[in-house]
Structure 1
Amino acid sequence: MSPRTVAFISAPPVVARLPRRLPIYTVTATIYEPDPRQTDSEPFITADNSRIRRNHSSKDRWMALSRDLLKKWGGDFDYGDSVRVSGISPKLDGVYIIHDTMNRRHRHCMDILAAKREHLDEMWKNVKISKVEPQWQAS
């Protein structure tokens, strides 16, 4: 038997796709407590209808965003999104979940849910936030 000739067809080169770069926002961060003076008449129910535990703390990692940053009002973030926060302190930097909305008078701001017993500082400027891309895994 003699070998057959095989035609090789060159395939187009595979283009390496860079990971999508998510926008980073600079905001002012503050602390809020579920208190009717700081929220509304139902302080333990958030804007997305989540319920705040009575014994909550900043370890729960919940946050509220100003309306200009939320999708409902034309922003990039939505309730339930995970957001990476940096520039506050080593104790408070990390990933938070959006559960609430701030009063309409605020712009480019975020609030961290904390308990009164924690005695945290009240305001930080030039805090960086960006959306965390979900890590999908096959089941």
Structure 2
Amino acid sequence: MSIALVLLTLLFPPRPTFSAALPSTVAHLSPRTVAFVSAPVIAKRPPRRLPVYRVTATIYEPEVRQTDSDPFVTADNSRIRRKHSSKDRWMALSRDLLKKWGGDFDYGDSVRVSGISPKLDGVYIVHDTMNRRHRHCMDILAAKWENLDEMWKNVKITKVEPRWRAS
């Protein structure tokens, strides 16, 4: 045995264990009945419904006669690629729908569009503003070579809620 173990045994001797029986009062206790109270039911909050707007959708191409003097720069200062197409999913909204003028949408917002065609329905990103004469309208950025129809009425748009992820 080592010296350290001997010293520990002398300083802290092992305690004797007692095996005592339970007192008679404890041994004769009977279990009592317990009433369970149900917790109050908390109603789930329904998912938030975002407003759906019905607008007129048109196609625009970045050229001077349809935009301003710098057609490849949008209202939020994004640059349109020279070889762009409708697959880029960029859109312009009329001023009455943009936050800057009291609407619900802002530049960079994702917007779900439905009611145009299976090819063009989907999620677009707001990058541009339409001319002030337009109300409840949207423009889809497209290229000349796509030869798309020019106008659709009663198109539904709604804002897409961002999905936050923990970092």
TM-score strictly above 0.5: yes
The structural deviation recorded for 1:12 is: 4.4
1:103-118, aligned counterparts within 5 Å?
103-118=131-146
> Where does structure 1 differ by over 3 angstroms across 4 or more consecutive aligned residues?
6-13
The structural deviation recorded for 1:11 is: 5.2
- Identical amino acids, percent of aligned pairs: 85
Q: Secondary structure at 1:130's aligned position in 2?
A: strand
Partner in structure 1 of residue 91 of structure 2: 63
Partner in structure 1 of residue 161 of structure 2: 133
The structural deviation recorded for 1:136 is: 1.4
The structural deviation recorded for 1:8 is: 7.7
Amino acid at match of 1:33: E
Question: In the TM superposition, what whole-angstrom CA distance separates every residue of 1:110-136 from its partner, at most 9, and x where no partner exists?
Answer: 000000111100000000000011111
Q: Does 1:39 align with 2:58?
A: no
- CA distance, structure 2, for counterparts of residue 44 and residue 9 of structure 1: 68
**Aligned counterpart in structure 2 of residue 51 of structure 1, from 69, 72, 79:** 79
The structural deviation recorded for 1:15 is: 2.4
Could you tell me the TM-score, scaled by structure 2's length? Answer: 0.77
- CA distance, structure 2, for counterparts of residue 12 and residue 59 of structure 1: 51
- CA distance, structure 1, for counterparts of residue 163 and residue 75 of structure 2: 26
Structure 2 runs not aligned, ≥5 long: 1-25
Q: Secondary structure at 1:117's aligned position in 2?
A: helix
Partner in structure 2 of residue 27 of structure 1: 55
Question: In the TM superposition, what whole-angstrom CA distance separates every residue of 1:19-53 from its partner, at most 9, and x where no partner exists?
Answer: 10000000000000000110001100000000000
Could you tell me the TM-score, scaled by structure 1's length? Answer: 0.92
Q: Highest relative contact order (Cα 8 Å, sep 6+), 1 or 2?
A: 1
- CA distance, structure 2, for counterparts of residue 7 and residue 104 of structure 1: 69
Q: Secondary structure at 1:99's aligned position in 2?
A: strand
Larger Rg: 2
Q: Secondary structure at 1:26's aligned position in 2?
A: strand
The structural deviation recorded for 1:70 is: 0.3
Question: In the TM superposition, what whole-angstrom CA distance separates every residue of 1:66-89 from its partner, at most 9, and x where no partner exists?
Answer: 000000000000000000000000
Partner in structure 1 of residue 148 of structure 2: 120
Bigger shift: 48-57 or 129-138?
A: 129-138
Bigger shift: 8-17 or 37-46?
A: 8-17
